[in-house]
Structure 1
């Protein structure tokens, strides 16, 4: 006798319950597709693949550089590395603190040619480490640096690397990292004139190195020679944030203060720092960092990014485009570390909420949260 299997049917869902189920599934799908504050809709609008980067999102970026076909970024205790050809497609590799270094945190990263220089800070002081940029291993070569304090900042200008060191109860010291012997680098202390506070930023125009403290612009013809003061309170700015130089040699400094006559503006000089002209004032904003990329001056604010055209420095800084969709968090980020122009025409922003990037020629799209 042939057996017939009878399967009990489940009750057919009502139209209302089917609608609720569909909405729930769609909500879960959209939530799974969300990246930052964007979701699937921004991906469709940009026609761009949504990729989740593995970099920490809510930690301060303390350094960024490009060397020998790779990017290096300092976030948290580690240095992270990724090929310049892998942007948006591959995860970042971590280069941990070298074995035997103890409890150290990455305080910055810079480069000189194909040599990557990193600073690590711990309770016992600071250590400068170097490596070849093309080396994909986790090996570091230790420097015999004489730094007994904490590294505040690692700065680069041209092919020169500088260290700002803070010795508790003593003050700040400024050093040039001497890489003549890359296997055994040293640091040369550069005495600052007078009672100058710590160096905040550096730039190089191909001939002269320039630096800023909170109240002065300094310069030097050689990286291992102590700089001299060029100007104090340039353009009336009494609390300087950063310095940059345009392709024609115009110096631009930003104001990192809100409640004063110098708030919300830049000052620029076309004669090497002898005389200065002020820009217009953006109300209730301060600019701790500045960079010149192409024909645009980028100003890092305590909340987001502002810009000025190089051909209109007398104008007023305006909120940069592209700070919507995925970049909603960027509007609330402090751009403390400034900007970096990569060789592949991407701009990277260093903030207290991770690393951001965007193509230098396309201001119609949002900044992407790495």
Structure 2
């Protein structure tokens, strides 16, 4: 039967007792006894001498010893600043478990610029997901530094390496409370040249739910993404987000999630079957006319009669026709889906329509 560390002399001082526990936790070849010693240490108050002893073990040549020392630091939540240089060294250790423990142990020291930089490096560059998550957890616990971390992740979304952009996009999912600061960046990331980055952005937006509703137009445009995984992720994100939009828009999103409907049908139904506010339709028609003028070199009469005599659906059809006449490669359903995204964008961006939700 397993017992606590009872093989110590009864008259041992508390300090001697702690030192023997530390020695057992760090060096005992019996992993079970090492684990019991660690659990016992968690119930006792820490001292500066404990930190100094562990610090010496963090500098050991033995990978196993460094791993145990880093693990002990993370379990005991030691706040001694003397540990920081050694932890910053082992956070780049060859063993992923050592790096993970070091990242967790550095959480109390995040206000230190060097610590923050080292943790961000792990978040973006470490090959092991558990290490990346540990570093991110350490960074996100300190509220006064979260905005700086977000700024760094924003910058990483533009990194030349796609794996860094991917990890930055996924890392942003851990900052739900600050979603308003990075939604636009994630929406822009949905256009990234690499499918993994676009997929990560869509997954992160899905995790944010209705708080990410202003990114819905960007997600709608991914319905015809070149990668099937991205298309599926975008639709899943829409499913989680759209309940936070005005009720009249729900029918559009429900149609988007139904594979039976294509872009042309959804947009046509938006004007013919749904009761859209005239204000939305007028703004949409103006955008379409501007696009037509650009495509026809201001010869809109080639594809449309007077804008005052046409509705939103007719001007949308004229845009697709003008695109074809301009000699541009044109997938009709894709073009109609882009126009649908504009329509949703107009509604979501018009504060005067909130009363209709």
Which structure has the highest strand share of the two? 1
Which structure has the highest helix share of the two? 2
TM-score (norm 1): 0.25
Higher relative contact order, structure no. (Cα contacts within 8 Å, ≥ 6 residues apart): 1
